[in-house]
Amino acid sequence: MTEPLASRHPPEARAGRVRAARKAMRLHQWSKNVLVALPALLAHNLSPEVAGEVAIAFLALGLVASGTYVVNDLLDQEQDARHPTKRHRPFASGALTPGFGWAFGPALVGLGFALAWALLPLAFVGALGVYLATTLAYSFKLKSVVIVDVCVLAALYALRVLAGGAATGIPVSEWLLAFSLFFFLGLALLKRYAELRILEIEVDARDNGRGYTIEDAAMLRAIGPAAGFMAVLVFALYVTSPDVAVLYARPGLLWLAAPLLAYWTMRMWMLAHRGDLPDEPVAYALRDRASYAVAALTAGVLLLASIPV
């Protein structure tokens, strides 16, 4: 006699698969998609219509990103299973099957594009297409090409900013784009350096599966903070430019944000050097009180600088 379907798939097992699927989506990574709001926020345009467009862009980009994370984890399944922390990912641990993943990932991507196509300008759909193509190229090949990989990661961050401009019709300034490229290049280099430090400390491995070896850690430690401070320099140059007066009534106050950015950069690299930073800096920042304090203080500076005397 055939066993009833309900007994073969008890509620506990279904709930476990739902939790594993949610984990595979890496919903905490959706925090990166807040970048779509930057063009509107920095243009001081927070109208209900623009806010709605930003929210839809955030959701569409999140769904597509989650789909690509699933594909990436499927491709990295065997390597992740040998990693000290990544072995707990749903596909590496066996909580989800590859068959489920190859259906789930494309479904998320399709849902994200359907939402964008129905509710947002074609320019955003185009940006979303570029994001998808670049992410898949990264997952299949570019993540193992030294230096190219961190450049692609930085470009994907900057592309989120450009996508926000496309969704709202707000142009992205050259200042914001230049700052984004340097800042996120530093963040990508920090991610790679942290991976090497974890491998060096915990498992004594020589490479991280991304083309980098332990010997490269010193080079990453040299060029990573430099990229971060280049972003601070771009910000300082913006503060002294005529463009700043268009949006800020008291641009001199913006100087207060520069040391905050410099402090955050130095602190994150110090943590990575000590081996105290996980291999995903963004995830760490989301539970780091100091990062929240820096973000709050920076937002306060920008707000005060925009209020007329």
User: What is the C-alpha separation between 234 and 151, in angstroms, rounded?
Assistant: 18
The residue assigned the tokens 């359907």 is 114
Task: Give just the sign of the alpha carbon dihedral 71, 72, 77, 81.
Answer: negative
Confidence of residue 22 (pLDDT cuts 50, 70, 90): confident
The residue that leads in pLDDT, 212 or 268, is 268
Three-point CA angle 112, 161, 150, nearest 5°: 95
Residues 243-269, mean pLDDT to the nearest whole number: 93
Neighbour count for residue 292 (Cβ, 10 Å): 12
Write the pLDDT tens digit of every residue in 137-174. Answer: 998 888 888 899 999 999 999 999 999 999 999 999 99
Neighbour count for residue 27 (Cβ, 10 Å): 13
